[in-house]
């Protein structure tokens, strides 16, 4: 497809080690990289691309992924240089959109899949309730994250268990964690706290 739009393809590789060699030997103007490559099938493609950008700052890289992986998108955007893109693989089927993204990244711009942007923004919105916690609620959250019971939290903060229960109730409300038979709100609150 790229050749049909007048791109010269220097290499097509299948594994992380091959990608690393291609970056070093061929010095491409732009790279289109799958997040998951053999042999690990985890984030090897992304890690190779990030290493190549560290070795050659500003190297234009367009990363393709099957699903939105917020961590990968944040890691890719972290260095602040342009010449980066993150698209879901189904965008490749729209040839014009895909080629436009490759060209934009090659020119030093950014090409982000709308779904990636939406999830990153929704993540930011989810982070806001954590900022609404009072200093005491944050102390309670920290102790909850350490695995402490309400009684242990009360003893450490020199308050009653009833006060701790009130704080945890406020925390659940601010984090929009409603009562559910399927979910443990305390665990979900701790996960939100640890993932902030």
Count of alpha carbons within 13 angstroms of residue 2, beta-carbon side: 13
pLDDT tens digits for range 13-62: 999 999 999 999 999 999 999 988 888 888 888 889 989 998 998 899 99
Domains of the chain: 3-122 (3.40.50.2300), 132-194 (1.10.10.10)
pLDDT tens digits for range 68-83: 776 766 777 776 677 8
Q: What is the DSSP letter of 67?
A: S
> Strand, coil or helix: what is 31?
strand
Report cis status (omega within 30 of 0) of the bond before 100.
no
Query: Are residues 63 and 35 in contact, defined by beta-carbon separation less than 8 angstroms?
Result: yes
Query: Are residues 188 and 168 in contact, defined by beta-carbon separation less than 8 angstroms?
Result: no
Give strand pairing partners of 65: 88
Q: pTM for the full model?
A: 0.62
């Amino acid at each position: 497809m790229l050749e049909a739009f007048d791109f010269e393809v220097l290499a097509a590789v299948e594994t992380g080690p091959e990608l690393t060699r291609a970056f070093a030997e061929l010095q491409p103007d732009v790279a289109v990289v799958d997040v998951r490559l053999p042999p690990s099938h985890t984030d090897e493609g992304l890690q190779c691309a990030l290493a190549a950008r560290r070795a050659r700052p500003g190297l234009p890289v367009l990363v393709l992924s099957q699903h939105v992986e917020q961590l990968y998108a944040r890691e890719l955007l972290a260095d602040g240089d342009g010449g980066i893109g993150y698209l879901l693989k189904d965008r490749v089927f729209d040839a014009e959109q895909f080629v436009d993204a490759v060209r934009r990244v090659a020119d030093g711009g950014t090409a982000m899949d709308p779904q990636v942007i939406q999830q990153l923004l929704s993540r930011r919105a989810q982070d806001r309730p954590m900022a609404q916690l009072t200093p005491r609620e944050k102390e309670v959250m920290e102790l909850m994250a350490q695995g402490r019971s309400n009684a242990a939290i009360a003893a450490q903060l020199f308050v009653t268990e009833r006060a701790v229960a009130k704080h945890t109730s406020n925390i659940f409300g601010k984090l929009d964690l409603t009562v559910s038979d399927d979910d443990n709100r305390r665990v979900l609150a701790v996960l939100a706290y640890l993932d902030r």
